Amino acid sequence: MSPRAYVVRPGEGGPLWSLGGRFTTLLSASETEGHVGLVEVLAWQSSEPPVHIHHREHEAWYVIEGQMTFQVGDEALVATAGCLAFAPRGIPHAFTVDIEPTRVLILATPGGFEQFVSDLGVPATSTERPADLTVPSPDVLGPIAERYGIEVVGPPLRVARGEVAP
């Protein structure tokens, strides 16, 4: 099927609770012949992933509201509202959510990341954040991530720094 023009309106896009945050797919690989995926995320510290490598896609984050700090390879990148951070594929990276909640757009090219999010998510039937919302444990996250060319290579940044227990 060829890509078609469309608009995703506020409240559309099938929001999910996944990976410790609220993810809404705005543009998917299935709609772009695999070229790109775009999700909007409402992120808390519960969204902070382990250090990982995307072997298939580049990833970019555009911060709409809030602040995040990205560790991409050896570089620490602080991104406030209006900033974009970029991680080329093949480079270990992770982030912290410095202001809760932070609203961010995640762009992945080629697309497919949004399906990874979906595989780990449940429909967000309300806007109230679930009390048990978190990134899945490595034994759950690892095998699913591997199917999408994502390799977990270290703990979340706050765990590595000893700020929180593993």
Q: How confident is the model at residue 1 (pLDDT cuts 50, 70, 90)?
A: low
Q: Where are the beta strands (DSSP E) in 44-101?
A: 50-54, 58-65, 67-72, 75-80, 84-87, 93-97
Q: How confident is the model at residue 90 (pLDDT cuts 50, 70, 90)?
A: very high
Range 17-123+133-160 classified under CATH 2.60.120.10: yes
pLDDT tens for each residue of 116-131? 999 999 999 988 999 9
- Nearest-angstrom CA–CA distance, 164 and 156: 9
pTM: 0.94
The rounded mean pLDDT for the chain is 95
Which residues face 148 on adjacent strands? none
- Nearest-angstrom CA–CA distance, 13 and 26: 6
What mean pLDDT comes out for the span 35-64? 97
Task: Specify whether the CB–CB gap between 154 and 148 falls below 8 A.
Answer: no
User: Which residues are CB-contacts of 10 (< 8 A; sequence separation ≥ 6)?
Assistant: none
- Nearest-angstrom CA–CA distance, 49 and 120: 13
Looking from the CA of 158 toward its CB, the CA atoms found within 13 Å total 15
Query: Would you state the pLDDT for residue 13?
Result: 87
Q: How confident is the model at residue 149 (pLDDT cuts 50, 70, 90)?
A: very high
Of 3, 5, 8, nearest to 105 (Cα)?
8
Domain residue ranges in the chain: 17-123+133-160
